[in-house]
Structure 1
Amino acid sequence: MRLRQIEVFYAIMTTGSLRRAAELLHVSQPAASKVLRYAEQSLGFALFERAGGRLVPTREARIMLPHVNAIFEKLSDLKRLTDNLRYARDGHSISIGCVPSLGLSLVPRVVQRYRKDHPGMELTIDAMHGTEIVSRIMNHDLDLGIVFGDYTSDGLTALHLADIPLMLIDSKKGEGPVSVTDIDPERYIGLSENDPTARMLDMLLEEAGIPAKTHVRVRTHFMAAELVRLGGGCAIVDAVTALHHPGLSRPRPLFPPLSVTCTVLFRADHALSHISQDILALLRSELDVDLLALKE
């Protein structure tokens, strides 16, 4: 099948009628009907049966549909890629992916500072998990990724931004450093095993004789903080989340101190644009503000 034939087939499957498919493709109904007829002739079987003025997909058409969906997903990826390449060439755009915890405070502050000085620039920000960030960078869908932990991969460059302290947040107020051995396992809200801090914390808890299996596990530091705010227990989260999540009591440092690495990722075969370099400088500046606030 030619691409135009696939487009007509997909449009009919999506809209349910030849008329609406023609309108969607901005062609006349006879033209769409002609393309469909040629497609069926080249395939050697019917794609639709005519019943009461309607087009009913045949068994073969339904079998083909998932494969056609995949083709259009790839076409969407290609369009997004060409858009990114065009904007990147013009030097007026950057796309950033960040883990949700950093997307709720740190990254918005950086974006606001950058836009104040560069009002004509276009920024696209997405919050997602680290593995998806890596995948989208390698697919040319993101310029920068901001993650917790160390994501080493061929074709990927990782720049260390800062070591972010981990802190205990608890609905029952307390002050001063706290040891992991003092954490009540019945009230502890754990993080998903895929989180880089979770693996480290689970090992420490097991070494302290505290069962790593918790009653509640969540995928983001933000969700853990929100459960604590609602009185659901206690959790260990990164300091950026602990400082900026509304409604929490002052976070408590851990003893001995624990931290998680904050890293910026980008493709190894791409030099950092001037926009990316400016964003990195602002990220470091805002992280310094947060780390200084912990000492006050």
Structure 2
Amino acid sequence: MRLRQIEVFYAIMTTGSLRRAAEVLHVSQPAASKVLRYAEQSLGFALFERKGGRLVPTREAQIMLPHVNAIFGKLSDLRRLTHNLRYARDGHSISIGCVPSLGLSLIPRVIQNYRAEHPNTEITIDALHGSEIVSRIFNHDLDLGVVFGDYAREGLTAHHIADIPLVLIDKEREGGSIALTDIDPARYLGLSEKDPTAGLLEMALDEAGIEATPAIRVRTHFMAAELVRLGVGCTIVDALTVLHHPGLPRPCTLSPPLSVTCTVLFRADYALSHISRDILKLMRRELGVDLQTLATMV
């Protein structure tokens, strides 16, 4: 099938009629009908049957549809890529992915400060989990990814920008220092096993001889913190979440201390634009402010 024939087939399948398909494609109905007829002739089987004035997809059409969906998904990716390349070339666009905790703490302030100086820059921000960020960087959907952990991959450059302390939050124990062995495992709220912080904590708990099987696990530090705010239990999260989540108890430092790396990711074959470099500087500055504030809290 030629691309135009695939377009007509896809339009009919998604709109449900030849008339609406022709409208979507900005062609006349006879022209769309002609393309469909040629497609069926080249394939050697019918794609639709007429029943009560409607076009009903044949079994063969239904089998083809997932493959056609994949083609149009790739075309959509290509359009997005060319858009990103065009605006990156012109130097006034950036696309950033960040883990949810940073999307609720660090990144909004960075964008606020950058936007104040560069009001005409087009900025796209997505809050995603680390593996999704890596995938979208490789797919050219993101210029920068900001994650916890390093996510080392071939073809990916990782810039370490700060070590973020992990802290305990618990309404029954505010402030001070606490050993892992003093945390109540029955009240402990865990993070998703896919979270880099969760892996770090589980190793530390194992070394301390603690068997903790949380009855509740969540995918984001923010949700874990909100459960603590509601009195559900206690949890260990990154300090940035605590700083920017109102209503939480005063955090406790861990003894021995634990921290998670905050890392900026981008493609190894991607030359950082001046926008990306400016954003990186702002991240480091804002993280410095947060870490100084944290020092006064614990």
User: Aligning the two structures, in what range does the TM-score lie when normalised by the shorter sequence?
Assistant: over 0.9
Residue 212 of structure 1 deviates from its aligned partner by 3.0
Secondary structure of the residue that 2:237 maps to in structure 1?
strand
Residue 208 of structure 1 deviates from its aligned partner by 2.4
Residue 66 of structure 1 deviates from its aligned partner by 0.4
Instruction: Give the Cα–Cα distance (whole angstroms) in 2 for the partners of residues 199 and 60 of structure 1.
Output: 47
Letter in 2 for 1:64: M
Contact 1:243–1:250 at 8 Å: present in 2 too? no
Q: Indicate the residue corresponding to 1:273 in structure 2.
A: 273
More deviation, 242-251/69-78? 242-251
Contact 1:97–1:125 at 8 Å: present in 2 too? yes
More deviation, 200-209/163-172? 200-209
Q: Indicate the residue corresponding to 2:159 in structure 1.
A: 159
Q: Indicate the residue corresponding to 1:14 in structure 2.
A: 14
Q: Indicate the residue corresponding to 1:5 in structure 2.
A: 5
Alignment deviations for residues 45-72 of structure 1 (CA, whole Å, 9 cap, x no partner)? 0000011100000000000000000000
Contact 1:243–1:251 at 8 Å: present in 2 too? no
Alignment deviations for residues 139-186 of structure 1 (CA, whole Å, 9 cap, x no partner)? 111110100001111111111100000000113242201111111111
Q: Indicate the residue corresponding to 1:264 in structure 2.
A: 264
Alignment of 1:80-91 (within 5 A): 80-91=80-91
Instruction: Give the Cα–Cα distance (whole angstroms) in 1 for the partners of residues 3 and 65 of structure 2.
Output: 14
Instruction: Give the Cα–Cα distance (whole angstroms) in 1 for the partners of residues 204 and 113 of structure 2.
Output: 38
Q: Indicate the residue corresponding to 1:255 in structure 2.
A: 255
Q: Indicate the residue corresponding to 2:71 in structure 1.
A: 71
Instruction: Give the Cα–Cα distance (whole angstroms) in 1 for the partners of residues 102 and 49 of structure 2.
Output: 53
Alignment of 1:1-296 (within 5 A): 1-296=1-296
- Give unmatched runs, 5+ long, in structure 1: none
Letter in 1 for 2:191: L
More deviation, 222-231/201-210? 201-210
Alignment deviations for residues 250-292 of structure 1 (CA, whole Å, 9 cap, x no partner)? 1111111110000001111112111001000000010001100
Instruction: Give the Cα–Cα distance (whole angstroms) in 1 for the partners of residues 9 and 247 of structure 2.
Output: 54
Secondary structure of the residue that 1:211 maps to in structure 2?
coil
Residue 210 of structure 1 deviates from its aligned partner by 2.2
Instruction: Give the Cα–Cα distance (whole angstroms) in 2 for the partners of residues 175 and 268 of structure 1.
Output: 42
Instruction: Give the Cα–Cα distance (whole angstroms) in 2 for the partners of residues 60 and 273 of structure 1.
Output: 48
More deviation, 275-284/192-201? 192-201
More deviation, 71-80/212-221? 212-221
Letter in 2 for 1:185: P
Contact 1:97–1:144 at 8 Å: present in 2 too? yes
More deviation, 113-122/195-204? 195-204
Residue 207 of structure 1 deviates from its aligned partner by 2.6
Instruction: Give the Cα–Cα distance (whole angstroms) in 2 for the partners of residues 257 and 231 of structure 1.
Output: 25
- Normalising to structure 2: TM-score of the pair? 0.98
- Matched length: 296
Instruction: Give the Cα–Cα distance (whole angstroms) in 1 for the partners of residues 200 and 160 of structure 2.
Output: 19
Secondary structure of the residue that 1:254 maps to in structure 2?
strand
More deviation, 207-216/112-121? 207-216
Alignment deviations for residues 121-151 of structure 1 (CA, whole Å, 9 cap, x no partner)? 1110001011111111111111101000011
Letter in 2 for 1:85: L
- Give unmatched runs, 5+ long, in structure 2: none
Instruction: Give the Cα–Cα distance (whole angstroms) in 2 for the partners of residues 253 and 175 of structure 1.
Output: 8
